[in-house]
Chain A
Amino acid sequence: MALDRRYNGAKARPVTTLPELFVKQAANAERNYVVAELLARPLPDLIDEARAIRDAHWGTALTYSRKVFIPLTQLCRDVCHYCTFAKAPRSLERAYLRLDEVLKIAEAGAQAGCKEALFTLGDKPELRYRTAQEELERLGHETTLGYLAHIADTVRKRTGLLPHLNPGVMTANDYERLRPVAPSMGLMLETSAKRLSEPGGPHHGSPDKWPALRLKSIALAGIARVPFTTGLLIGIGESRAERIEALFALNAIHARYGHIQEAIIQNFKGKPGTRMENAPEPSEEELIWTIAVARIVLDPEIAVQTPPNLNPGRLKRLMEAGINDWGGISPVTIDHVNPEAPWPAILSLEQECNEAGYQLVERLTAYPLYVRVAKTWIDRKLHAAVNALSDSEGFARDCAWSPGEDRPVPESASSPPITREPKIDRALDRASDGRRLDETEIVTLFAARGGAARAVCEAADELRRAVNGDVATYVVNRNINYTNICSYACSFCAFSKTSAKAGLRDTPYLLPFDEIGERSREAWEKGATEVCLQGGIHPDFTGRAYLEVCRAVKRATPEMHIHAFSPLEVHHGAETLGRDVPDFLRMLKDEGLGSLPGTAAEILHDDVRREICPDKLSTEEWLAVIGAAHQVGLPTTSTIMFGHVDRPHHWAAHLLALRDLQMETGGFTEFVPLPFVHMASPLYVRDGSRKGPTWREVLLMHAIGRLVFHRAIPNIQASWVKLGIDGVAACLFAGCNDLGGVLMNESISRAAGAAHGQGLDRETLEGIARGLGRIPRQRTTLYRAPLPRERTACYA
């Protein structure tokens, strides 16, 4: 977390001593040298370097934010000679938009899939216009910023849209006050050339356009830890060298505080009705030159943005020159600062990106770098709102779909044509050779989007075909969740109940052992070959209880395969009997246990476990129990429960931990991704986690599981309980070969709000497989062919 370290509130000491004087002179000399060098370099050369920097740091992603534009007030105390946004009071009915008007815009935006409410407004109009002052009083606010804070907060609470605020030059207090209502703010530097504020310059008479004042305000945003948007307005009379100076100034502030998330390179447009209506607009060359130089000069982690609506017909050139962001794009409102320029439809923008070899990726108003370290950069009050809209990388969720919700999976993931990216191809090749990918490679695969994500899924599908052929297996089983009373308080779990009083949907229960036997007999009669037993960690249970459960099943159904007890239960059982884990596992095996579910793995990374299951087994303990099970001859499945507070690098570590153990023991039968179902989970409801993985992430988890585990774990399972039938169908083309169980009674996912039914009969399941061109085949828990009795019994 470089950003955590970099942030410091230190103030610069005045230069006093000779050595410091020379330090400063040396810095100036270096700058002069760089300026001269940049000015001398031919444009194609600059473009090549800029593009290389962008490609290396931002890959093929070109981002945008889906937003609505809310011009809270168009009055402004400044008089910039190029502006049409600011209006004089007489031409407007009212100085400020009312809350209901704002909400109308915001709600329309939310419905159109927007995630940002961009508040752009004039700078402190109340200091210039009496009408503004009076209207603010009527609205019950002293200042425009006070009104803005109220409106922005209400918009976020009512619509979920994340406010981005552009209210002009702000003080430290202003930032403190607005930080809890907006995850990001902005102020264009425009230019660092003081002379443009002198008589005859476009900023003459605009007190807020003094470069020093704006630079100070931008720095104060850093001290307040506000992810910040700024940039240059080019072609208002500044020289190329002055633009470079402005970029240096921004870079210097960013080096100190790390908060500048993007720099907009905006080209001046001569607008009718302004004093600069007939001023020459900067040429395309000038714009391209500035973009390239900005990309070269600025810290690569600062995005370079150029608005597409001001540059129709030259988007390809902008991309070539090194931009990585288009800025906010509205499907609903016009751009009030440049009202004459219509926004390109998002779809056509996407097409242009694809044609140039890039992916259009939606981001939030705060960039991923800041969303990922929200603790440092975003006010606590906004974490849940930001997480609800973001994916594992900190980009915007690319669709409304969440696991367990009763809505069809999005189709777009499979529609774009496959694109090849060298880094991804290298990882895919290595995986196909059965090599162990490293964490970076896995993270690269998880970052694949659009056509590149398709390439990953296709590669996984190829491996599946090579290993498993076109057979799609399933097991007939019954889930028996013998108790929901649990002494653990894992924040993701909606199933466990700590006592009779608590409870969201289900009341606490504990099945009597006879009932367990009875349910097993029922299952056997219906053709099940397996009972899957898992439950909470009941405070009264000792290891005896687990042994009893096995006995109860075996008494009722001697041939039933018992698939039971997560490592947590095993650990608990061993501990309460004073046995070591391998001993206790042997005892369970002697009582008829056939295999273990590799659940309670959640994310095998202690950083995540500390957040979501602090009292559960550590990564090391979990692996130790599973390893011990394999050693005593009890195979297990392997799982991952993902899409909450975890990040791709955690996933990578998890997959590699499983793979490494498998290489040692060979005891894993299959890998089962379990997407986090958020709806009723305290982790989401109370702690504000993400809303489960996005559909792209779900597909990739199955596909990358296949790739990482190639020649290690032969079976990848898709869980229809969490994904629905259409979800499972899609996963069958992303590396999966197994459909899991024809379950009867599945309580855990349902408790978290999953809408998919409790059971799915095997005819339906087989029908699905056949419909997809796969050969359905029943299997036992350990992937053998069931005995003929079992098959016929099923239809008896």
Chain B
Amino acid sequence: MSLRETEPAGSTAEAVARRSYGKLIAFLAARTRDVAAAEDALGDAFAAALKEWPVKGPPSNPEAWLMTVAKRRIIDLSRRRRVGDAAERELTMLAEEMNAPADPEFPDHRLKLMFACAHTAIDAAIRAPLILQTVLGLDAARIASAFLISPAAMGQRLSRAKAKIRDAGIPFAVPDANELPARLEAVLDAIYAAYAEGWSDPKGTDVARRELAEEAVYLGGLVAEMLPEEPEALGLVALMLHADARREARRNENGEYVPLEAQDPGLWNRPMIERAEGVLSRAAEFGAIGRYQLEAAIQSAHVERRRSGANNWPAIVQLYDALLALISSPVAAINRAVALSEVEGPDAALAALDKLAGDARLASYQPYWAARASFLARTGAREEASRAYEIAIGLEQDPSVRRFLETRRSALSG
């Protein structure tokens, strides 16, 4: 359910831009490794198209048209920048390549582009924005607003990253089988980071963020399509679909926060859950678990109550155990404690939380204190529970979640 499908048909140029941007950039940058130059060239080609097409009518193959103009532009730009024999030789080669007749089905290099953007040499925090920009053509300002960073800073960081790709000679290639798992993880992590940014707009009123989540699902699908033998890519898609399916149920009609266990399964997007389960089943056939498959399986266990009326808490605990064996994540550890409280009771869950107490990050992590407070409340330690709720409330930025925690806290004395 990507932006592309829902957007009302605009001009041909815009439609092509949405559909083909990443493919064109990837193709143009694959040889030169100069993403910025490819973007500039394609930007010029789009500008030309907007001028020419309304007058002359759109070409029969708009992608090929754009490609031809952009290639020429790249050669011009390079020529302007470079001098000397070596540069000349290189330019000749470049021109030959670029001038090769445009195949109407030119190869899709977007996956290579993503691997370049998520290369270990690139700062992990910028990988997701970089992919969003190069593969989807989102502009820096929109990405910046989604990631809560000033457009200027985002623009700078993106430029630096692109320069790094060019100067460090980061390859545009799908890594070989040895390297693939680790490198793919970085690509998937970047996509998931984009999704998480979008997901953190609970009300769905922030358009930039909401779109970001949808773009991330699209990117995940793209990777899964291009690497059909990688169950982790499927796992990520299933995870994002599962989460997205419950988007509407996260708030009630008054805009108040509704925790997962209190959500009405009737408000969940059933077709999307079915799609998620279908994708996850395909992943399961490979019999090679990974972080995203396990996280998706946890989501799947959470929505089991849609059918059975009850959560499969023991499976959730076991899945978190498996997940924690793969990644170190205090968030997963807290969620495991929550699941454990459902299986073995609040004392066991508190003991599990106590084991995490050494992690300094948790002291300022709201869900840690909220979970602690709820376990304490269930053991009857009201005062301690109340204090933990106080901390959680103090840490929470979302007023709706704050109100929810306050309700919980005042229920203690009742």
| B312 and A20 form a contact (CB under 8 A) | yes
A18 to B283, CA, bound (A): 10
* Residue B319 is within 8 A (CB to CB) of chain A in the complex: yes
**Which of A17, A18, A20, A22 sits near B289, CB closer than 8 Å?**
A22
| A22 and B297 form a contact (CB under 8 A) | yes
A37 to chain B, nearest CB (A): 13
| B325 and A19 form a contact (CB under 8 A) | no
* Residue B322 is within 8 A (CB to CB) of chain A in the complex: yes
* Residue B316 is within 8 A (CB to CB) of chain A in the complex: yes
> With contacts A26-B294, A28-B287 known, is A17 near B319, CB below 8 A?
no
* Residue B95 is within 8 A (CB to CB) of chain A in the complex: no
| B315 and A26 form a contact (CB under 8 A) | no
| A22 and B294 form a contact (CB under 8 A) | yes
- The residues of A that contact B319 with a CB separation of less than 8 Å are 19, 22-23, 26
Number of B residues, CB within 8 Å of A = 22
* Residue B300 is within 8 A (CB to CB) of chain A in the complex: yes
* Residue A504 is within 8 A (CB to CB) of chain B in the complex: no
| B297 and A18 form a contact (CB under 8 A) | yes
> With contacts A19-B301, A23-B319 known, is A30 near B325, CB below 8 A?
yes
**Which of B277, B284, B325 sits near A22, CB closer than 8 Å?**
B284
A18 to B304, CA, bound (A): 10
Residue of A20, A21, A22, A29 ringed by the most chain B CB atoms within 10 A: A22
A28 to chain B, nearest CB (A): 7
> With contacts A25-B289, A26-B322 known, is A20 near B315, CB below 8 A?
yes
Question: Could you mark each residue 12-44 of chain A with 1 if its beta carbon is under 8 Å from any beta carbon of chain B, else 0?
Answer: 000001111111011111100000000000000
Nearest chain B residue, comparing its CB with the CB of A33: B325
- The residues of B that contact A26 with a CB separation of less than 8 Å are 289, 294, 318-319, 321-322, 325
> With contacts A18-B280, A19-B298, A30-B322 known, is A25 near B287, CB below 8 A?
yes
Nearest chain A residue, comparing its CB with the CB of B325: A30
> With contacts A17-B315, A29-B289 known, is A23 near B284, CB below 8 A?
no
A13 to chain B, nearest CB (A): 11
CB contact list, B284-306 vs A, under 8 A: 284, 287-289, 293-294, 297-298, 300-301, 304
A26 to B277, CA, bound (A): 18
| A18 and B312 form a contact (CB under 8 A) | no
A124 to chain B, nearest CB (A): 38
A23 to B325, CA, bound (A): 13
| B300 and A17 form a contact (CB under 8 A) | yes
* Residue B281 is within 8 A (CB to CB) of chain A in the complex: yes
Instruction: Tally the A-B contacts, defined by beta carbons under 8 Å.
Output: 55
- The residues of A that contact B281 with a CB separation of less than 8 Å are 18
Question: Could you mark each residue 335-361 of chain B with 1 if its beta carbon is under 8 Å from any beta carbon of chain A, else 0?
Answer: 000000000000000000000000000
A738 to chain B, nearest CB (A): 50
A30 to B321, CA, bound (A): 11
| B289 and A19 form a contact (CB under 8 A) | no
| B287 and A23 form a contact (CB under 8 A) | no
**Which of B293, B294, B312, B325 sits near A17, CB closer than 8 Å?**
B312
- The residues of B that contact A21 with a CB separation of less than 8 Å are 284, 297
- The residues of B that contact A27 with a CB separation of less than 8 Å are 322
> With contacts A25-B289, A26-B289, A28-B287 known, is A19 near B297, CB below 8 A?
yes
| A19 and B287 form a contact (CB under 8 A) | no
A292 to chain B, nearest CB (A): 24
A19 to B319, CA, bound (A): 8
Nearest chain A residue, comparing its CB with the CB of B231: A25
A154 to chain B, nearest CB (A): 47
> With contacts A23-B322, A26-B294 known, is A17 near B287, CB below 8 A?
no
- The residues of B that contact A29 with a CB separation of less than 8 Å are 288-289, 322
- The residues of A that contact B277 with a CB separation of less than 8 Å are 18
A600 to chain B, nearest CB (A): 40
| A18 and B300 form a contact (CB under 8 A) | yes
- The residues of B that contact A22 with a CB separation of less than 8 Å are 284, 289, 293-294, 297, 319, 322
> With contacts A23-B319, A26-B318 known, is A18 near B284, CB below 8 A?
yes
- The residues of B that contact A20 with a CB separation of less than 8 Å are 312, 315
A507 to chain B, nearest CB (A): 59
- The residues of B that contact A28 with a CB separation of less than 8 Å are 287
| B284 and A19 form a contact (CB under 8 A) | no
| A25 and B304 form a contact (CB under 8 A) | no
CB contact list, B241-283 vs A, under 8 A: 277, 280-281
- The residues of A that contact B294 with a CB separation of less than 8 Å are 22, 26
A289 to chain B, nearest CB (A): 26
B406 to chain A, nearest CB (A): 33
A27 to B294, CA, bound (A): 12
- The residues of A that contact B325 with a CB separation of less than 8 Å are 26, 30
A19 to B320, CA, bound (A): 11
A415 to B66, CA, bound (A): 99
| A19 and B304 form a contact (CB under 8 A) | yes
- The residues of A that contact B318 with a CB separation of less than 8 Å are 23, 26
Residue of B293, B298, B318 ringed by the most chain A CB atoms within 10 A: B318
A29 to B291, CA, bound (A): 12
A671 to B325, CA, bound (A): 55
Nearest chain A residue, comparing its CB with the CB of B298: A19
CB contact list, B93-151 vs A, under 8 A: none
- The residues of A that contact B322 with a CB separation of less than 8 Å are 22-23, 26-27, 29-30
| A17 and B304 form a contact (CB under 8 A) | yes
Q: A21-B297, A23-B322, A27-B322 provided; 5 other pairs, C-beta below 8 A?
A: A18-B281, A18-B301, A19-B315, A21-B284, A25-B288
Contacts A/B (CB < 8 Å), 30 sampled: A17-B300, A17-B304, A17-B312, A18-B277, A18-B280, A18-B297, A18-B300, A18-B301, A19-B297, A19-B298, A19-B304, A19-B315, A20-B315, A21-B284, A21-B297, A22-B289, A22-B293, A22-B294, A22-B297, A22-B319, A23-B297, A25-B287, A25-B288, A26-B319, A26-B321, A26-B322, A26-B325, A29-B288, A29-B322, A30-B322
Interface set of A (CB-CB < 8 Å, partner B): 17-23, 25-30
Report, nearest first, the 6 A-B pairs whose CB atoms are least far apart: A26-B322, A19-B301, A22-B297, A19-B315, A23-B318, A18-B300
